[in-house]
Structure 1
Amino acid sequence: MVILDGTIVSVALPSIQHSLGFSPTSLAWVVNAYLVPFGGLLLLAGRLGDLVGRKRVFVAGLGIFTAASLLCGISQDPATLLASRFVQGIGGAVTSAVTLGMVVTLFPQPKERAKAIGVYSFVQSAGGSLGLLVGGALTQTVGWHWIFFVNLPIGIAAMVSAGRMLTPEQGLGLGKGTDVAGALLVTAALMLGVYTIVETTDVGWASAPTLGFGAAALALLLAFVARQTKATRPLLPLRMFRSRTVSGALGIQALMVAGMFSFQFLCVLYLQKVLGFDEIHTGLGIFPVSVAIGTLSLGLSPKAIARFGPRAVLLPGLALIAAGLAALGRVPAGGSYAVDILPALLPLGIGFGLAMPALATLAMSAATPEDSGIASGMFNTMQQIGAAFGLAILSTLANAHTNALLHDGASAPSALTGGYQLAFRIGACLVAASLLLAASLLRSPARPPLHSAAAEASPVPEHAAH
């Protein structure tokens, strides 16, 4: 539900603009007003989960998100909708920041944890793809208000289930990590950074606002890092980055998502603007990716991770994603969905279904029960930054190349296709870079020797083992 709300409004934007009177320049903030607080608050919310208890933070986030969804649905003017979307982004960040941390603490055994992370990865990945289908169906049948009202029964049911099923956690206590200055610095840095990236679509990368805000975000982030090295109780313990596996997994994730996220946005534009698909058929066209992700995340991927290790599963997954994006980079202006699009979408879904659970396993591999919330927040933060950065860069390059082709006399479908081709190829290069990084940086963890049933029944004394 939380991830879905980042994309569900995309196909409803024309209806929202017509109904509430948004200007063309302000309409993009129906999406951005959600993404900026979502990306900016993940790290802080994750740490709060460690300090006050992840169940409390999870349920509070659900309450904020659900109430804000109601306000979005009843909005009668642009200002109310944008303010409600901002609050909805806060609730989404608070909820999702601690989810992966709860998964790894609830399932400490490697085999069960791999299954749980597979389910988590499927739900997270499918949410983005399903948003396009659900948003189009609701907008065309009952109106755009229902893309927000649909969250109310889901949110209420989730809060009731969480209250009954999750065991309350005491948490470390606010005194164990109340780094107020660090919290303000990192939240301001991340929110300003995400804002700077999403605004580049309108003002450009070399503009004064982009350079100024980007420099300010970087300065705030450096100040936060400096603060963490000196703080008695840091918000983000820097020791977590000493693990090459964790640091590498976070960097690989940012590159992979930056390249992969482009397909969801640009492939939708290709299907609608070049092939002439409507909203529902566009959602159905992307749906095979969700099916492939679900099949792998819920079935093969957890078993393969438990048997061969996450690195061995990650590498072919990244290779398949790069191949799928490269195939999309060859789509023609007069293309066919069955011939040109579907054969590229299948390796994308299969690859992501393999890679995402493996990356989540690697990123959380060094997290202790006391740090699982902040580790979960870091994982989600890198995903949001990668998505925002990748989409801003690739959409800008696609638009620039399309305009250049139009200036040279190309037809509109050919020019649009040329821009999308370029973006898909660059996305493939980003994922290929993440593959090289994974192959060179990550190492398979040491695997314990297999024990026979008899040995497990009669364990060897410690001194004999030595």
Structure 2
Amino acid sequence: HESKDPNATKNVDLVGTALGFPGVALVTLAIVQSGDWGWVDSRTMAALLGGILLLALFVKRCSTVADPLLDLSLFKLPFVVAANSAGLFFSIGFLGMWLLNTQWLQAVWHYSPAKSGLAIAPGPITAALLAAPMGRMAMKWGHARVLMIGSVLLSFGTFMFSMRVQPTPNYLADLLPWMIITGAGVGCSMSTLSAAASAFLPPAKFAMGSALNTTMRQVGSALGAALAGSLVISASRILEEAARTKTRPVFTDAVFADFDRAWQVMAAIYLFAGLVMITLYRKPTQEQMTAAGQVTFVD
């Protein structure tokens, strides 16, 4: 069912929009280009500090205007903080893992885009099969517990990519098992995160809670893509040189080690997302809801 905030207006905070989106873009740019520019390069620092400044001004703007782009009062609720923080880190790990897997298949194993898609397909298929039953289990066991299970599966599967995947293709033994395990982790996590973000909000705030979670996950996706790219920048340089000279790319052991470290970083991020949820996610008290400006919550 659709929900409507009776106090909502049609006003859009254009100033907040002009501060928030460029802020995220500049931080992402700094991460993406850090491999080429270097972290202490003036361009990297300017993009990073500029992005942080714009985001700080965005938060300030949202705390002072009557119709903010982002309702900061929701962050007074621990379950909102937990669900959105977990969503941010989950999306960093998910996009990072997905890009690493795709780049490995196409650049190292020399799979075509179509073959890469088929190779990755067991993960999404597993996720789709598990999403609905895991959503029901989240209602029974609690969102945090189900998401923790998903985070452990994702962390383990992604870590095993770094331990088992070799330069010589062996899809059935080295990639497929972990693709299915990470797919199961996604099935436990995706719908659970969406539901957890607005689980206890009054109907009038469902849309804002859902939009906030979607925004955090989109930001996480951008950061995950940037982080993955920066961790395997050496592979990107080799691919660029091979494209320029029209030769087949030749990767060194150092490049393979970069992929292993990148997978391990994503595995750690997944686990951290689960720990955030299991530690902080709690049903709010009526006092917390009142302090956040919400009259009541959904039981």
Task: Identify the TM-score tier after normalising by the shorter chain.
Answer: 0.7 to 0.9
TM value normalised by structure 1: 0.53
Could you tell me whether the CA contact under 8 Å between 1:274 and 1:417 is conserved in 2?
Answer: no
Q: Provide the C-alpha distance between the structure 1 equivalents of 2:210 and 2:12, rounded to a whole number of angstroms.
A: 18
Q: Provide the C-alpha distance between the structure 1 equivalents of 2:69 and 2:104, rounded to a whole number of angstroms.
A: 43
Q: Provide the C-alpha distance between the structure 1 equivalents of 2:170 and 2:35, rounded to a whole number of angstroms.
A: 29
Give the match for residue 77 of structure 2.
243
Give the match for residue 161 of structure 1.
none
Going from structure 1 to structure 2, the CA distance change for 1:188 and 1:425 (only over 3 Å counts) comes to closer
Shift of residue 234 of structure 1? Answer: 2.9
Going from structure 1 to structure 2, the CA distance change for 1:439 and 1:376 (only over 3 Å counts) comes to closer
Shift of residue 178 of structure 1? Answer: 4.4
Pair 1:253-2:92 in alignment: no
The equivalent position to 1:424 in structure 2, one of 253, 256, 263, is 263
Could you tell me whether the CA contact under 8 Å between 1:274 and 1:413 is conserved in 2?
Answer: no
Shift of residue 429 of structure 1? Answer: 1.1
Q: Provide the C-alpha distance between the structure 2 equivalents of 1:170 and 1:425, rounded to a whole number of angstroms.
A: 43
Going from structure 1 to structure 2, the CA distance change for 1:374 and 1:394 (only over 3 Å counts) comes to same
1:412 aligned partner, one-letter code: F
Going from structure 1 to structure 2, the CA distance change for 1:189 and 1:415 (only over 3 Å counts) comes to closer
The equivalent position to 2:50 in structure 1, one of 212, 216, 231, is 216
Could you tell me whether the CA contact under 8 Å between 1:394 and 1:426 is conserved in 2?
Answer: no
Q: Provide the C-alpha distance between the structure 1 equivalents of 2:34 and 2:66, rounded to a whole number of angstroms.
A: 38
Q: Give the alignment's Cα RMSD to 1 decimal.
A: 2.8
The C-alpha deviation readout for 1:204-240, integer Å capped at 9, x for no partner, is 4332222112212211211222223232333322111
1:317 aligned partner, one-letter code: G
Going from structure 1 to structure 2, the CA distance change for 1:327 and 1:440 (only over 3 Å counts) comes to same
Judge which range, 229-238 or 283-292, deviates more: 229-238
The equivalent position to 2:118 in structure 1, one of 284, 294, 297, is 284
Q: Provide the C-alpha distance between the structure 1 equivalents of 2:281 and 2:203, rounded to a whole number of angstroms.
A: 23
Going from structure 1 to structure 2, the CA distance change for 1:217 and 1:346 (only over 3 Å counts) comes to same
Q: How many residues matched? A: 273
Shift of residue 400 of structure 1? Answer: 4.5
SS in 2 for 1:412: coil
Give the match for residue 340 of structure 1.
174
Identity among equivalent pairs (%): 24
Could you tell me whether the CA contact under 8 Å between 1:322 and 1:429 is conserved in 2?
Answer: yes
Q: Provide the C-alpha distance between the structure 1 equivalents of 2:216 and 2:119, rounded to a whole number of angstroms.
A: 28
Could you tell me whether the CA contact under 8 Å between 1:302 and 1:357 is conserved in 2?
Answer: yes
Structure 1: gaps of 5 or more residues? 1-104, 109-168, 404-410, 447-466
The equivalent position to 2:160 in structure 1, one of 327, 334, 339, is 327
Going from structure 1 to structure 2, the CA distance change for 1:270 and 1:185 (only over 3 Å counts) comes to closer
Going from structure 1 to structure 2, the CA distance change for 1:171 and 1:197 (only over 3 Å counts) comes to farther
1:183-202 aligned within 5 A: 183-200=17-34, 202=36
1:82-161 aligned within 5 A: 105-106=1-2
Q: Provide the C-alpha distance between the structure 1 equivalents of 2:118 and 2:46, rounded to a whole number of angstroms.
A: 41
Give the match for residue 106 of structure 2.
272
Shift of residue 252 of structure 1? Answer: 1.2
Going from structure 1 to structure 2, the CA distance change for 1:179 and 1:276 (only over 3 Å counts) comes to closer
Could you tell me whether the CA contact under 8 Å between 2:151 and 2:185 is conserved in 1?
Answer: yes
TM value normalised by structure 2: 0.80
SS in 2 for 1:333: coil
1:234 aligned partner, one-letter code: P
Shift of residue 244 of structure 1? Answer: 0.7
1:160-199 aligned within 5 A: 174=9, 177-199=11-33
Going from structure 1 to structure 2, the CA distance change for 1:388 and 1:358 (only over 3 Å counts) comes to same
The equivalent position to 1:306 in structure 2, one of 125, 133, 139, is 139
1:341 aligned partner, one-letter code: L
Pair 1:225-2:59 in alignment: yes
Going from structure 1 to structure 2, the CA distance change for 1:191 and 1:415 (only over 3 Å counts) comes to closer
Q: Provide the C-alpha distance between the structure 1 equivalents of 2:224 and 2:17, rounded to a whole number of angstroms.
A: 26
Q: Provide the C-alpha distance between the structure 2 equivalents of 1:431 and 1:417, rounded to a whole number of angstroms.
A: 21
Could you tell me whether the CA contact under 8 Å between 1:322 and 1:432 is conserved in 2?
Answer: yes
The C-alpha deviation readout for 1:308-343, integer Å capped at 9, x for no partner, is 221121111110000010100112222410000011
Could you tell me whether the CA contact under 8 Å between 1:402 and 1:419 is conserved in 2?
Answer: no
The C-alpha deviation readout for 1:151-171, integer Å capped at 9, x for no partner, is xxxxxxxxxxxxxxxxxx797
Give the match for residue 371 of structure 1.
205
The equivalent position to 2:251 in structure 1, one of 406, 412, 418, is 412
Bigger radius of gyration, 1 or 2?
1
Going from structure 1 to structure 2, the CA distance change for 1:301 and 1:231 (only over 3 Å counts) comes to same
Pair 1:383-2:217 in alignment: yes
SS in 1 for 2:70: coil
2:124 aligned partner, one-letter code: S
Judge which range, 242-251 or 380-389, deviates more: 380-389
Q: Provide the C-alpha distance between the structure 2 equivalents of 1:338 and 1:419, rounded to a whole number of angstroms.
A: 23
Give the match for residue 150 of structure 2.
317
Q: Provide the C-alpha distance between the structure 2 equivalents of 1:445 and 1:233, rounded to a whole number of angstroms.
A: 25
1:426 aligned partner, one-letter code: V
The C-alpha deviation readout for 1:5-39, integer Å capped at 9, x for no partner, is xxxxxxxxxxxxxxxxxxxxxxxxxxxxxxxxxxx
1:186 aligned partner, one-letter code: G
Q: Provide the C-alpha distance between the structure 2 equivalents of 1:392 and 1:358, rounded to a whole number of angstroms.
A: 25
